[in-house]
Structure 1
Amino acid sequence: MKLPIIAYGDPVLRRKATDIEPDEYPHIKQLIEDMYETMYGAKGVGLAAPQVGLSMRLFVIDASPFDDDEPELKDFKKAFINARILSEDGEEWPFNEGCLSIPEIREDVYRKKNLRISYYDADWKHHEESYTGLAARIIQHEYDHIEGKLFTDKLNPLRKRLIEKKLNDISKGNVSVDYRMKFPAAKKGR
């Protein structure tokens, strides 16, 4: 089942997501599968629960499209539940990022090269792992979503002003996408 992706401007994208308890969400594996299907349908490499309207600490990634650049990403597909970044270090490096909730906008974003993260997988097994390079970047981007942050928050004030009209258009639904979206400021009856 493909879920609609929530567009820029919806308050759920700005809310710090809450932890999930295993007994509180017994169908978590189905939600994770639905999120993967949604992400693949939109040609993304990551998707966080707030992007499908759920303010919970869950995100999924599949970094395999980047395996030409980093061969170790060939089968890098994971779900992260109740994630907490424990540390980030290394030199910040730029990479041109986009977001399924902010279609048609891509900008260079600087992030630390390495991270250490604590999380639970879909079977509620706890992990504490370190990542570097593109894997770390994708995790950082999705982690920002469960913290109520967007990649556009990391842009300098001038870049933010230059894309402000595009962001407003996205929230109104004035954007062309080939996947289902919900637009917070769209006029009814369209």
Structure 2
Amino acid sequence: MVKQIVRDVFFLSQPSEAATEADIQVGKDLQDTLAANRERCVGMAANMIGVKKNIIIVNMGLIDVVMFNPVIRAGSGRYETEEGCLSLDGVRKTERYQEIEVEYLDFNWKKQRQKVSGWTAQIVQHEVDHLTGKII
């Protein structure tokens, strides 16, 4: 189901809690909401649709990947960039890693570990920041 985008900075600045298998529907709602906002969005966190759970979705080119309880395990190649966010107006400076390794649970609740770089790594880092309440 397509959900409304939350723009309340107070809500967005609160940390999320661990997702459980009961939260699978939130992952599906993220898929629908990202698809509905595709022209202006490449990733989302569950708090952006009003759910304080550790769930993100990231566009990885041909597919959108939903990650439950994602954790960035490693990062290299720090650089400065500017990012925007569907929940906020304008762009802000931030620092990111060029390459990261992220661990997460998939829709089947199986652990996945993936190395990503460049734009995809930047999206993952941005969305994981949302889960901790960090707003760029």
Which residue of the partner structure matches residue 91 of structure 2? 106
Contact 2:103 2:114 in 1 (8 A): yes
**For residues 40 and 21 of structure 1, what CA distance do their matches in structure 2 show?**
23
**Structure 2 counterparts to residues 105-144 of structure 1, below 5 A:** 105-144=90-129
Give the deviation of 1:8 after TM superposition. Answer: 3.9
**For residues 21 and 33 of structure 1, what CA distance do their matches in structure 2 show?**
14
Structure 1 gaps of 5+ residues are: 65-74, 152-190
Contact 2:31 2:64 in 1 (8 A): no
Contact 2:46 2:54 in 1 (8 A): yes
Query: 2:50 pairs with 50, 53, 71, which one?
Result: 53
Give the deviation of 1:144 after TM superposition. Answer: 0.3
Which residue of the partner structure matches residue 33 of structure 1? 28
Distance 1:63 1:97, change over 3 A: farther
Q: Aligned letter for 2:35?
A: Y
**For residues 60 and 88 of structure 2, what CA distance do their matches in structure 1 show?**
19
- Report sequence identity in percent: 26
**For residues 21 and 7 of structure 1, what CA distance do their matches in structure 2 show?**
25
**For residues 132 and 33 of structure 2, what CA distance do their matches in structure 1 show?**
21
**Structure 2 counterparts to residues 13-92 of structure 1, below 5 A:** 13-22=12-21, 25=22, 28=24, 30-42=25-37, 43-64=40-61, 75-90=62-77, 92=78
Which residue of the partner structure matches residue 134 of structure 2? 149
Which residue of the partner structure matches residue 2 of structure 1? 2
Q: Aligned letter for 1:2?
A: V
Q: Aligned letter for 1:21?
A: T
1:95-132 C-alpha deviation (Å, 9 max, x unpaired): 331101103x1234321111111100111110112111
**For residues 147 and 108 of structure 1, what CA distance do their matches in structure 2 show?**
18
Structure 2 gaps of 5+ residues are: none
Equivalent pairs counted in the alignment come to: 134
Query: 2:81 pairs with 87, 90, 95, which one?
Result: 95
- Greater share of strand: 2
TM-score, normalised to structure 2, is 0.88
